[in-house]
Amino acid sequence: MPQIEQLAATYSSQIFWLLVFFGFTFFVVGRGMVPKVMDTVAQRDKQISDDLIAAERARKQANEEEEAWRVRENTNRAEAQALIAEARTKAAAATEQRLAAAQSVIDTKLAEAEDRIAEARNSAAAEIEDVAADATRDIVSRIAGLSLDDAAVRSTVKENLVHG
């Protein structure tokens, strides 16, 4: 079989070139390029790891700052509520004082008005008694022709005005 003999003659040459090619590929790619690629991958992994650590630190710091801010805001809110309550209390006290002063002025005016009304009522009642007494005396003297005592006429008029 000539094809097998020819194969054996070229076989060693093919193996030689196969070994040369794979050896060259191994040293160029395996020893030259792969370590560089692996270094780049390691650097990226380290950079990602460092970035994750920095992000975790930043997140913790942000959480701490947010918590401190919340505490400050809650304290400020409580202080503001206390100030508002104090202002309301002061305003209520001031309003109560003003109302009390106004009420005392109103009460004074009301008492004065009631006194004037009572005085006017007494004056009007006295005038009515005088007019009624004069009218009664005139009527009795005209109709009956009698002259009555002023005190008796007044007491009778007063009694009739009181009892109706």
Q: Report residue 89 as tokens.
A: 């209390």
pLDDT of residue 4: 59
Domain ranges of the chain: 2-163
The answer to whether the CB of 150 falls within 8 A of the CB of 132 is no
pLDDT means per 10 residues, the chain with 164 residues, are 59 83 86 86 95 96 96 96 95 93 92 92 84 81 79 78 66
Q: What is the C-alpha to C-alpha distance for residues 11 and 75, in angstroms, rounded to an integer?
A: 90
DSSP track, 26-87: IIIIIIIIHHHHHHHHHHHHHHHHHHHHHHHHHHHHHHHHHHHHHHHHHHHHHHHHHHHHHH
pLDDT of residue 6: 62
Residue 149 DSSP SS3: coil
Q: What is the C-alpha to C-alpha distance for residues 55 and 136, in angstroms, rounded to an integer?
A: 115
What is the end-to-end Cα distance of the chain in Å, rounded? 168
pLDDT of residue 106: 93
Task: For Cα atoms 151, 117, 110, give the angle at the middle one, nearest 5 degrees.
Answer: 150
pLDDT of residue 1: 47
Q: Report residue 153 as tokens.
A: 């006429």
Entry field: residues in the chain: 164
Residue 1 DSSP SS3: coil
